[in-house]
Amino acid sequence: MRTIFLHLHPARVNETAIRFNRTFGLGGMAALLIVVQIITGVLLRFFYSAVPAEAYNSVVFLKNEVLFGPFIRNIHYWSGVFLLLIAFFHFLRVFLTGAYREIRKVNWLFGLVLLVLIVFSNFTGYLLPWDQLAYWAITVSTNSMGYLPLVGESLRVMILGGKELNAGTLQTFYTFHTAVLPLLLLVLVLYHFWRVRKAGGILIPATTEETEMVPVMPNLVFREFIVALVLIAVLFTFAALFNAPLLEKANPAYSLNPTKAPWYFAGVQELLMHFHPFFAAFVLPISVITFLAWTPFLEYNEAPNGHWFISEKGAKSAETTAKFAVIVTLAGILFNEYVLNFEMLMSPVPAFLSNGILPLFILLGFMAGYYRYFLKKLNLSKAELIQAVFVFLIVAFIVLTLVGIFFRGKDMALTFPWKL
């Protein structure tokens, strides 16, 4: 067992690096949840049938007739949700401590690939219950692919195996969810951990104090074990108290109202409410992905120091940028909902301009003004400026996601849980 652990950890580790507030154990928790997903997924395979006529009934049978069947299904569902959230927080932690540059830049790219694979693992599993929620959520999500130029519609038909969801779609999603994606995740997670070790472990701030090198066992392994126990306890508690959603059997002739994409795509669906589909489904997502993949390879004036938000100026700019992103995003949603759409109904302006280029240029104008009147005065370094852009994008996406989940009601109209 000692040899197995030493493949993932060195024999000795810096005492500063094993403090909980360095990483919050996020990487290890994500790896554990992948294992939980695989184990519970194997158990669910004994009862699940990937055929539209039988899929829903097999889930109902599992839920009502199998001993501990609902509990295992709930664990599988909540571990998938937790995995996505924890992987996202790990992604934030790595970027906001600067651990994506220099020797770690290639591993950052593998981390992005892992995050995408986790998203699509959740996405492919979402369809398997074959209930109304799953059927229409996947329908909405795949329909957005048709907006991609040139290849969009062909790609959508290839994924679905036709023009709408069918038996081939369910079989394809089932195969990817239970075989292809778990294998890729396992291989890439092991490689990801290995590259962390080859980079000298996690990035820690330089200090004038002498730090001791301590044996990895039991110092680090014991802490990881405690974090794993707490995570399992929380996961089991959720599984015992909250059931995985299951509506009535999928009915292609009757759509839900509102029809929403899975919660992790709610931000993109909300973008579609405000931007031309070409911008919302193609230009903006591709631009953000390119930005995230490109930033580690820029030339910076200083090496990453491992401090949260780089410096005091970086922390101040990140805090103010987060507030700015919330205000601008909410103002844009309200303006488009109650002012712009009404005026455009009376205007001959093409939708490509009114719902695409125009709001994009307005957004860029606000960001340029914010940079000129605030960020420029702080005299930020390139790393701090890149961090501010990152914070704006992340916070704006979180706001869009929350609005899409909680504030979109019937016919996707903007609704509030209270009376204005």
pLDDT tens-place string over residues 178-203: 999 999 999 999 999 989 988 888 88
pLDDT reported for residue 213: 86
Is 50 exceeded by the pLDDT of residue 342? Answer: no
Is CATH 1.10.3720.10 the classification given to domain 1-256?
Answer: no
d(CA 402, CA 379): 33
Residue type, 319: E
Q: Which residues pair with 249 in a beta bridge?
A: 131
Give the Cα separation of 178 and 42 in Å (integer).
Answer: 8
Residue-level pLDDT at 21: 86
Rounded CA-CA distance 134/262 in Å is 8
**What pLDDT score was predicted for residue 6?**
58
Whether 349 shows a pLDDT value over 80: the answer reads no
Task: Give the CB-side neighbour count of residue 108, counting CA atoms within 13 A.
Answer: 23
Question: Helix 105-126 vs helix 284-294: angle between axes, to the nearest 10 degrees?
Answer: 150
Say how many C-beta atoms besides its own lie within 10 A of residue 270's C-beta: 26
The average confidence (pLDDT) of the chain is: 90
Which of residues 147 and 104 earns the better pLDDT score? 104
Would you state the structure tokens that stand for residue 110, as one six-digit string?
């593998």
Least confident among 29-38, 147-156, 377-386? 147-156
Question: Which tens digit of pLDDT belongs to each residue from 48-86?
Answer: 999 999 999 999 999 999 999 999 999 999 999 999 999
So where are the chain's domains?
1-256, 269-420
pLDDT at position 341 is 56
Question: Cα separation of 286 and 290, whole Å?
Answer: 6
Predicted TM-score (pTM) above 0.85: yes
